[in-house]
Chain A
């Protein structure tokens, strides 16, 4: 466990000292600010973050892969993976360490948007429920996106490939419910349940449904598990 911590701590330091991470963070703040401000220009503006949350789910498709693409791909490119895999470190410790680091950076970035909440409280009296639930949902959603990105990074030594594939998977999962609308029956239900977006909607409305929490946690667990297996598979490839 201590080694997982060491991996996480090292990656966190890299995040906070690398320009890429700051650019990604800045992109998120700039874009989310646009979504937030869009609401305020309404003739009858609402003191809510619904638009910001909706926007954030889209922005995450871009920034989560950008944050995770480096994690494992670079180790493979630099050859440092050879040290990692010959150190007395379990494969899952590497994956968890990396994952936690990316999650910490994402949360740190998102926490900057608490500024919007403060603004709402200063100029109006918003309903706190949807805000709490929304941030919880966003954390879960972001966590799932990062896990997907991490798997892609584990599978290749090319960061660009890792990012593009992760974005592809996220986009497909994002729009899965639209595809589901065009077909009927059980298949439609299954496909719409896969959608990473449809599970988020309740959070933005202030509803914390265990079903959705379980969905995101399952996605995270599944992709992290696959990442560990992918790392292990390097040993017999």
Chain B
């Protein structure tokens, strides 16, 4: 117990927050280990930003507690805040300041001594690749660069915990890749909590994912396990040349097939075969299908298995829809 509490950086217990009568999050409990990169994944309005704001001490939860590095973010707010670097969803920048001035100001607010600030600006500007824009007025920077300035201010005081709310929203793909690389780099030395509604992003960067929907945590695991745990539901996309009225019942007769959907495309008949995961057919179902097709004299034009992507898992968890 002793050693595990030492390695826990953030402990959130039973977080509930109401905006008026509406619960934004309900009974959210999780912990973040030291040095971990944790991803919050959820559709817009799921409660990600609310959770981030509570973590950073911007607002207290209606119920529940958060400790950060052992300090309660409400009771020992200043101590907890000293340990946080935060990038809110809308990158908060004083648009009339230059990059250097802004970083200097943020460093001072975070309680850094003046001499350390100067040296640290050089580091941070290097890490965030802002070398050529030190003197540029922030208002004149493009969105991607503003995002970098936002990250720069968050890491300025070398915080123990980095909280990034939708760090790659609204920037172009090349910058997204760069930002992700930067976060991964930072994650090596710091604890990072980030939120996103983009799945590949989270699965690429994060060691652990919390899927949050309608204010509740619906799943928690590594991206790999999440994908594997729901892997059983597999589909086959098959293109068959043959009369639809005959092909459909033939496919449905095959053992292990739970459902068949059919789509007509120009010069193409596409069938989506859902495989029943509970039926162990013993042989590969693709084998059965191809045999059935060929023995009926139709042509098997294409066949591919479609595994469940993280996107689909995500949709399944958050919308309760059968895919």
Residues in A lying within 8 Å of B, measured CB to CB: 2-3, 6-7, 10, 13-14, 17-18, 78-90, 234-237
Q: What secondary structure prevails in chain B residues at the interface with A? A: loop
Q: Which of A10, A13, A83 contacts B92 (CB 8 A)?
A: A83
User: Is B250 among interface residues, defined by CB-CB distance under 8 A?
Assistant: no
B residues 82-127 touching A (CB-CB < 8 Å): 82, 84, 86, 88, 90-97, 101, 105-106, 108-111
Q: Specify which chain A residues have a CB less than 8 angstroms from the CB of B56 in the assembled complex.
A: 86
Rounded to whole angstroms, the CA-CA distance of A234 and B53 in the bound complex is 12
Q: A17-B96, A88-B81 are in contact. Are A83 and B106 (CB under 8 A)?
A: yes
User: Is B60 among interface residues, defined by CB-CB distance under 8 A?
Assistant: yes
State whether B96 touches A18 (Cβ < 8 A): yes
State whether A235 touches B60 (Cβ < 8 A): yes
State whether B84 touches A86 (Cβ < 8 A): yes
Q: Total interface residues on B, using CB and 8 Å?
A: 29
User: Is B58 among interface residues, defined by CB-CB distance under 8 A?
Assistant: yes
Give the top 5 A-B pairs by smallest Cβ distance, nearest first.
A6-B108, A80-B92, A87-B109, A86-B56, A79-B92
Q: How far is the CB of A85 from chain B (nearest CB, A)?
A: 5
Rounded to whole angstroms, the CA-CA distance of A82 and B197 in the bound complex is 21
Rounded to whole angstroms, the CA-CA distance of A139 and B113 in the bound complex is 34
Complex: chain B residue closest to A234, CB-CB: B59
Q: How far is the CB of A105 from chain B (nearest CB, A)?
A: 15
Q: Specify which chain A residues have a CB less than 8 angstroms from the CB of B93 in the assembled complex.
A: 78, 80
Rounded to whole angstroms, the CA-CA distance of A235 and B110 in the bound complex is 19
Q: Specify which chain A residues have a CB less than 8 angstroms from the CB of B97 in the assembled complex.
A: 10
Interface-central residue, A18, A78, A88, A237, by most chain B CB under 10 Å: A88
Q: Specify which chain A residues have a CB less than 8 angstroms from the CB of B95 in the assembled complex.
A: 78
Complex: chain A residue closest to B91, CB-CB: A79
State whether B58 touches A235 (Cβ < 8 A): yes
Complex: chain A residue closest to B73, CB-CB: A86
